[in-house]
Structure formats: structure tokens, C-alpha cells
Amino acid sequence: MTSRSRLRLTLVLGALSALGPLSIDMYLPAFPSVARSLGTSVAAVQLTLATYLAGFALGQLVYGPLADRFGRRRPLLAGLALYLVSAIGCAAAASLTALAVARFIQGLGGCAGLVISRAVIRDHFDVRESSRMYSSLMLVMGAAPILAPLAGGQVLVLAGWRTVFVLLALASGALIAVIALGLPESLPPGARPRFGFAEALRSFAAPLAHGRFVRLSLVGGAILAAMFAYISGAPFVFIELLGVRPERFGLIFGTNAFGLIGVSQLNHVLVRRFGVERVLRASVVVAFLAYGALYLAIALGGGLAAILPPLFLGVSMFGLVVPNATAAAMGHFGAQAGSASSVLGVLQSTCGALAATAVSLLADGTARPLALVTLASASCAVVLAAAGPVRTRALAKGAS
């Protein structure tokens, strides 16, 4: 693959992968506004994040097998079309229930981009190069957490929270056009397994029976859970408790995203020098220490100055843990990369949904739920990373 083709592929897959963060981060500043508009509480609105993540997890059970059986492009376009329609439904929602249902369907469509992006990368690259590609995607994806809350805050002030979902519908429409015109099929017909949908579902058994794959997926999932605990709880903590204005909330969110991007771009250098195993384990430990410091800062009643540094460090470690855990896990699967990507995505998205739900259910009018769930998630990641070897042989491209 030429450097120009690789850059184009990175940008397209990065945009696809960024749709998920955009769907979450852009409406975070609107949580209090949505609560007032629909006559409910911020804690209840947080559950719409959990329903989105539930749909995101469930949908991955479908797109992986479809992508293996019919190629990458057609399932991807179908998922984006479903996302577009449901985004319009979110914008028109007249009740919290309607919004939650529309968000669930939006998750069903939105997960296609992430699932199929991972499969496309595995189609083209081996384990080491996949790790580099995932890190490159972080650079493109990282723009979403920086720009989305900033844009969402401004849209909220100027046009209201429903306009956020109108913009997401337009973004998915643009992606449909880009994929239709600019993403070649990466899985030729001859390489596709010839089985029906029932057999496709049974193909999940192979990755689920692979202990190292499941463990590595859950290492990434635990750190993802910490991230979603932060994402779910941050609007209440910063806007309601600490008095940060919605249009400025994005500055805090964006600063943390800059840390994630910066660290992720060091990943290929660190992996080349120290290997995937050492980088993964070290970054998990750093995340645990950072979220432990965050818990202490909140427990002791610290303000922004005490909370922001450990939060910044904890979020930044996402940029090391997830690319390496994903590349190591996916490296064991070739032609069935779609099904493996589905299982990985379901495991990780379920972790995120559980964390977001826990923050909502534990809501007590303080920042403690956010601190508790992030620390518990990072603790699980440390245990899982230490439970067995991470090393994986550099599989040849296309090997199963």
C-alpha cells in the first residue's frame, strides 16, 4: 500500500470511527438542557448514553458476520443509513423514552463504522502495523472529543439541543457519500466464508473460546469503562457542581482529548522499543494510579485544580491501552476479523454501558460516583493485564 493510499484509508476509517465519539460527546453539554426540556433529571438523561451504548454493543453482533459474509462496504452503508434515520428521530423526540429508544437505534447503526474499520485494518495489516494504524486512527478520532463538546456547547446556545442531532444526521449523510465513492472493498469474494447467518453467529464461538483474545478485549473494555464513567458523569460534575458554563465545558473535555491524542502518537515508538506487552501493562498501571489520585482528590473535596491533573492523565492512557489491547487481540484472526471485531466490540461496549449506567444509578448529588466507577474500572484492567502473557506473534496479513 502506498503512503498516499494509507493516508486516505486512515482518514476515511478515522472519520468512521469518530462517528461514535461525536454521537456521545457532542450532546454532553446539553444534558442539563435536555433534562429541563423533557421535564426530567440529569441522572435520567445520563441513561440515554447507556441506551446508545447498549445498541452499539448489540449491533456489533450483526455487522461483524455480515461484513465477513458480504464484504465490508454494503453492511457499512446500511449501518450509516440506519444511523441517519435514528438521528432525525432523536431530534424530533418529545419525551425521554422516545429519546432513549432513538438513541438505542442510533447505536445500532453507529457501531457499523467501528466494527468494520477494525476488520478493514486487519484485512490490510499484520499485528505490528495494525497497532500503528490504530494509533493513527486515534489522531483522527481524537479531533472528535476536542471539537464535539465545543461545537455542541455553541450549538446549544445558538440553536438548542435538537440541532445537535440534526448535525449528526448531516455528518452521517456525508460519510455515506464518502464510503460510496472512496472506500474500496478490502475483502474479495474469494476470501469470504460461505455460510449462512446461523453459521455466522456460531463463528463467535472461536473468539469467545480464545482466552487471550477475551482477556485482552476486556483489558481495553475496562479502560473504556473508565472513559465512559468520566463521559457520563462529567456534565453533572463540571456544569452543575463546579459551575462551568456549557459552552466552556468543551475546553476541559478538549484538553483531556489532546492528552489522549498526544500519547497515542507515541505508541508506535514505544511499541517498537519496548513491545506491546510492556507498553500495555505499564499504561494500565499508570491509569490505575491516575484514577486512584482522582478518587482521593474528590473524596477530600478538591476543586478543579485538584481534579483536572489526574483526570487528564487517566484519560490520556486510553491512547496507549486501547490500540495495543485491540491490535494484540485482533492479531489472532484473519478472514474472520469481522466476527472477532464484533465480539471485541460487544465485550468493550458492554463494559462502557455498565459503567455509564452505574454512574447514573449511584448518583447522589456529588462527584463520588464518577470517581468510584473510574477507579473500579481501572482496577479491573490492572488485574486482567497481569493475569497472563500479552505476547502475540506477528501474524502474516490475512492469516487466520
| Predicted pLDDT at 17 | 79
At residue 302, what are phi and psi to the nearest 5 degrees? -70, 155
Q: Are 237 and 294 in contact (CB under 8 A)?
A: no
Distance between CA atoms of residues 215 and 380, nearest Å: 11
Distances (CA, A) of 348 to 11, 27, 301, 354, 377: 24, 22, 32, 10, 12
Q: What is the pLDDT of residues 103-155, one digit of tens each?
A: 999 999 988 888 888 778 877 776 667 767 776 776 666 666 666 766 777 78
Query: Does pLDDT of 371 surpass 90?
Result: yes
Query: Does pLDDT of 91 surpass 80?
Result: yes
Neighbours of 364 (CB within 10 A): 8
Per the model's pLDDT, the better-predicted residue between 333 and 345 turns out to be: 345
Going by pLDDT thresholds of 50, 70 and 90, the confidence category of residue 398 is very low
| Predicted pLDDT at 372 | 96
Query: Does pLDDT of 231 surpass 90?
Result: no
Neighbours of 44 (CB within 10 A): 17
- What is the DSSP secondary-structure string of 335-355? TTHHHHHHHHHHHHHHHHHHH
pLDDT > 70: percent of the chain: 87
Distance between CA atoms of residues 197 and 36, nearest Å: 44
Going by pLDDT thresholds of 50, 70 and 90, the confidence category of residue 46 is confident
Domains annotated on the chain, with CATH: 3-183+195-386 (1.20.1250.20)
| Predicted pLDDT at 177 | 92
Query: Does pLDDT of 34 surpass 80?
Result: yes
| Predicted pLDDT at 395 | 37
Mean pLDDT confidence for 205-216: 84
Query: Does pLDDT of 397 surpass 60?
Result: no
Q: What is the pLDDT of residues 173-208, one digit of tens each?
A: 999 998 888 788 777 777 666 665 566 667 777 788
Eight-state DSSP code of residue 396: P
How much is the pTM?
A: 0.72
Mean pLDDT confidence for 354-381: 93
pLDDT-wise least confident of 81-85, 93-97, 183-187, 381-385: 183-187
Going by pLDDT thresholds of 50, 70 and 90, the confidence category of residue 157 is confident
C-alpha cell at 321: 491501552
Distance between CA atoms of residues 197 and 286, nearest Å: 42
- Cα 325 off chain centre by: 13
| Predicted pLDDT at 162 | 94
| Predicted pLDDT at 392 | 45
Which of 249-258, 267-276, 308-317 shows the highest mean pLDDT? 308-317
Going by pLDDT thresholds of 50, 70 and 90, the confidence category of residue 393 is very low
Nearest to 238 by CA among 223, 225, 251, 226: 251
| Predicted pLDDT at 65 | 78
Which of 47-56, 176-185, 221-230, 264-273 shows the highest mean pLDDT? 221-230
